[in-house]
């Protein structure tokens, strides 16, 4: 029996998932957001360790999706995935606009806190509690942080626009990965489906706001001459906007428009399905909590 979930069924699950996300408590959104930000920081730092060893950049791109897989399988909250899922739920009538904004705001804050927390711990680890300079890994992180801020600033409005477009291209793939996590009922199938689009965006060098919440502060801690204002204006602002546009207008809404569905009430589903199938659905919903 195939474990593939077709697009219509996938969107039905996405709409239900969006509703559950919109009803999370502030506490849960923050905790799950903090953990998600930290795990993406882990994956990003892994890439720089790989690059510092002289391996090809594609190796880092192949490894980067480990962070995304971990946070998805744990049902954590990643704001860039929610940029697609909650608009689909709003179109289905299961998520109010105020609940959408509430989720995006708290999860974004949680992702930022988790990213900064891991950045601080990473800094302490690679500098031996600030007694060293971090070596080759630190040099690469600083270069990347400056490329993502000062290089855009040097181009003026064209740099700001470039960051925005790269963010759109990034989250188009990231949100496809978030949706594809629900296209399989098996763990292996979910991992494979998520891995491909996440690896693609990272290999192409596009801009992800939560990755940058770790990368740019890490570069600043390690000595990159970047101010907080420059980091916000020349990266996080355009990149967040671009990620939001892609998730909402290029993934969530288009997929719902072509595969319109309504969330099936839990009580109705329980009556319609055998006990074992109900248990499988519950396990799938928990594992497929793409954030």
Distance CA 158, CA 156 (A): 5
Beta bridge partners of 184: 4
What pLDDT sits at residue 269? 40
Distance CA 179, CA 181 (A): 5
CA distances from 188 to 5, 17, 78, 182 (A): 14, 21, 21, 12
Decide: helix, strand or coil at residue 259.
coil
Does residue 261 or residue 104 have the better pLDDT? 104
Q: Alpha helix locations (H) across the chain?
A: 7-22, 26-52, 57-63, 65-73, 79-92, 97-126, 135-147, 150-154, 157-180, 187-203, 209-221, 228-231, 237-245, 253-258, 266-272, 275-287
pLDDT tens profile 217-255: 999 999 999 999 999 999 999 999 999 999 999 999 999
Which positions ≥6 away from 186 have C-beta within 8 Å? 3
Quickly state the pLDDT bin for 283 (edges 50, 70, 90): very low
Q: Which domains does the chain have, with CATH numbers?
A: 7-287 (1.20.1080.10)
pLDDT above 80 (res 263): no
pLDDT above 90 (res 23): yes
What pLDDT sits at residue 262? 60
Sign, Cα dihedral of 188, 103, 250, 169: negative
Does residue 283 or residue 163 have the better pLDDT? 163
Quickly state the pLDDT bin for 2 (edges 50, 70, 90): confident
């Amino acid at each position: 029996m195939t474990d593939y979930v077709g697009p219509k069924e996938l969107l039905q699950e996405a709409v239900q998932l969006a509703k559950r996300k919109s009803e999370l408590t502030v506490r849960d959104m923050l905790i799950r957001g903090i953990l998600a930000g930290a795990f993406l920081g882990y994956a990003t730092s892994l890439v720089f360790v790989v690059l510092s060893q002289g391996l090809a950049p594609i190796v880092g791109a192949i490894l980067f999706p480990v962070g995304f897989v971990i946070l998805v399988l744990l049902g954590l909250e990643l704001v860039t995935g929610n940029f697609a899922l909650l608009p689909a739920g709003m179109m289905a009538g299961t998520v109010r606009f105020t609940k959408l904004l509430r989720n995006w705001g708290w999860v974004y804050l949680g992702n930022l806190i988790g990213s900064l927390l891991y950045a601080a711990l990473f800094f302490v680890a690679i500098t031996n509690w600030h007694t060293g300079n971090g070596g080759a890994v630190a040099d690469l992180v600083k270069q990347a942080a400056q490329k993502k801020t000062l290089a855009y600033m040097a181009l003026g409005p064209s740099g700001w626009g470039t960051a925005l477009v790269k963010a759109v291209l990034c989250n188009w793939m990231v949100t496809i990965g978030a949706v594809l996590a629900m296209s399989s009922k098996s763990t292996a199938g979910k991992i494979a489906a998520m891995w491909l689009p996440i690896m693609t965006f990272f290999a192409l060098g596009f801009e992800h706001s939560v990755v940058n919440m770790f990368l740019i502060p890490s570069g600043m801690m390690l000595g990159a001459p970047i101010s907080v204002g420059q980091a916000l204006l020349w990266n996080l602002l355009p990149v967040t906007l671009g990620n939001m546009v892609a998730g909402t207008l290029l993934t969530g809404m288009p997929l719902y428009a072509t595969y319109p569905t309504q969330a099936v009430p839990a009580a109705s589903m329980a009556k319609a399905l055998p006990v074992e199938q109900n248990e499988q659905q519950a396990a799938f919903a928990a594992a497929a909590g793409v954030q």
